[in-house]
Amino acid sequence: MKAIEIKLHTDFVQWLFQEKETYEVVEMMLFEEQSIEEMAVSCLGDWMPLSYVLNWDEIKPLLDEQKIEGKPVGDYLEEKHEIQNEPWDRDLFPHYDFYYNVVMDEPESKETDNES
């Protein structure tokens, strides 16, 4: 099975914990041996807005290998603007093991100007 990382923007952590009181987050951090990012991923249910996915262009072609309601899965998710449990459906994706990971913003590639 091939592991596929779904990279999440660090703003995801703030979004997930915004409804919790500060003491709740501190208490969770005291009793869990995880970073706040790992804790956020472990607290996440099966719903994720696509706006937090940094590498959508990389994973969408893999999702598009299968269909839901007659549409490629990636297109279906784009229409809904969210991921629910689709990548973890073993009937749809028996060869991929999708997982979330919170990462810092990836630097944009700089194009060099080769003018003489």
pTM of the shown model: 0.75
Distance CA 66, CA 45 (A): 23
Distance CA 26, CA 115 (A): 54
- The pLDDT tens digits of the residues spanning 18-73 come to 777 776 777 776 777 777 788 788 777 778 899 999 999 999 999 999 999 999 99
Domain locations in the chain? 2-103
Residue for token pair 């990279």: 7
